[in-house]
Amino acid sequence: MIKPHGADELNPLYVADPSKRDELLKQATDLEQVLVSSASAANAVMLGGGYFTPLAGMMNKADALSVADSMTTDAGVFFPVPVMNLLAQANFAAGQRIALLDPNVEGNPVIAIQTVESVDEFSQSELEHIAQAVFGTLDVNHPGVNAFLSQGNFAVSGPIEVLNFSYFETEFADTFRTAVQIRDEIAERGWQKVVAFQTRNPMHRAHEELCKMAMEATNAEGCVIHMLLGKLKAGDIPADVRDASIREMVQHYFPANSVMVTGYGFDMLYAGPREAVLHAVFRQNMGATHFIIGRDHAGVGDYYGPFDAQSIFADQVPSGALEIEIFNADHTAYSKKLNQVVMMRDAPDHSPEDFVLLSGTKVREMLGNGIAPPPEFSRPEVAQILMDHYQASNV
């Protein structure tokens, strides 16, 4: 099986031993309680699940600035985005242990215990430097920029012991999986070549066929559909609706035992190219050998070019930094000429009128009015789930 990123074995920071976990929870009551941001809580979940291997905790200022500039930590570990615990105030001493409280669960339970290595203050210009490098913009209308710059100016670095997986494990019990769990299931299934597909949206016919194309092109035995379960921008489809629609599609339109439907607990960054590289790290750590990068991967609005998330791997990711292979995909749509879904680059004799193309705005309008998109665009079972959601939202 493919090795984890930068290590021979995964480095999950979740305290798996129940008795040790109980003891740490007791200790947490005597520690300083710190309510962290949703982003920091999500970082804890991803560190706990092994997705951030080989990291051992939250980054310090030097690491964050180095990652922003060169996608490597101060010690030379390749990583595409800073992983920090940013706070508005932080009066802690080196060596102090603090209890990190989850902002996304009622009652704010302890999600992790962090041992403080340093507290570093960022100037506003330094934070903006990081934002510009990671997001490619300082526009506060960009949801990722807005979230990043609103967390605070103090980075608390150091290792963490993760005590739970926030709301993901309870609200998405059938879908949330750690990198450890996915790796174990891939091994149990005996898959050697595995394609991973990232989604924060429901999967329409083009996405379905893209997964099948990638599996065929790479001779993969299986596909892991890996959906983001964390915070999204306003207007995005809720995770439970996406989950239901994807499972319905897989049940009816994929061969049995060829797909794993899973999810991970992270907030969307909308960082385009940099987030595409981060997504590749996640997928290598969970055991996938190939990762699909499509048009406008992890983008939002018009901040990124349609294929910037592909070109970054050739232009900025050092050779050998990642073992996972990237499957570059073009815009995919149903061809009226060929009566099948194709990548548009593979149909040079087609005009736009030869494809079934619908804008996201048009699709949402149709679904909200109880009108199913054509079957060439969306499977009827999927369309029904989405129509129910949009009509319930309009009540």
Nearest one of 156, 196, 215, 379 to 286, comparing CA atoms: 196
Q: Strands of 332-335's sheet, edge to edge? A: 340-343, 332-335, 355-356
What residues form DSSP beta bridges with 57?
159
Cis ω before 54 (30° cut-off from 0):
yes
Distances (CA, A) of 305 to 136, 168, 198, 273, 295: 11, 32, 19, 9, 9
> What is the DSSP track for 215-275?
HHHHT-SEEEEEEE-S---TTSPPHHHHHHHHHHHHHHHS-TTSEEEEEE-------THHH
Question: What's the rounded Cα separation, in Å, for the pair 323 and 112?
Answer: 30
At a CB cut-off of 8 Å and minimum separation 6, what does 337 contact?
347, 349, 350, 354
The catalytic residues are 200-201
Return the sign of the alpha-carbon dihedral for residues 290, 383, 344, 300.
negative
Question: What's the rounded Cα separation, in Å, for the pair 70 and 66?
Answer: 6
Q: Could you give phi then psi for residue 328, rounded to 5 degrees?
A: -80, 125
Question: What's the rounded Cα separation, in Å, for the pair 149 and 136?
Answer: 14
Question: What's the rounded Cα separation, in Å, for the pair 387 and 392?
Answer: 8
